[in-house]
Structure 1
Amino acid sequence: MSQVHVRNLQKSYQVPVRETGLKALRGVIRRQHSTVEAIRDISFDIEPGEVVGFIGPNGAGKTTTLKILSGLLHPTAGEVRVAGEIPWERRGDYLRQISMVMGNKSQVMWDIPSLDSYAVLGEIYRIPSSELQRRIDELAAMLGVTDLIAKPVRMLSLGERMKCELVASLLHQPAVLFLDEPTLGLDVSVQRRLREFIREYNRRTGATIILTSHYMADVEALCSRLIVIHEGKLIYDGALAGLLEKLAPFKLIRLTLDGDHADGALDLPPQAELIERENGTITLRASRADTSAVTARLLGALPVVDLAVENPPIEAVIDQIYTGGTV
Structure 2
Amino acid sequence: MALSPALQKLVSNGANKYSRSTGERIKPKEGINRYRLLVPDVNAQFWADLGVHWIKPEVEGKGKPIAVVGCADVCFQTPCEIDTAIDAALSNAIDEDSKKLYQSWRARKTVLLNVLDRSKGSTDPDKVQILEITTGTFGAILGIIQQYAEEGEDILDAAAGMDISISRTGKGLQTEYTVNVAPGKSQPVTKKHLAEVHNLTDHINKEFFRGDEQKALNFIAQVAQVSIPRLGVKTPTAALTSRAAQVDPEVDADALADAADLEELETVEEAPAPAPVKAAVKTTASSAPAKVEVEEDAVVLDDNDIDDVLADLDSI
Global fold match (TM > 0.5): no
> TM-score when scaled to structure 1?
0.20
**Structure possessing the higher relative contact order (Cα contacts under 8 Å, 6 or more residues apart):** 2
> TM-score when scaled to structure 2?
0.20
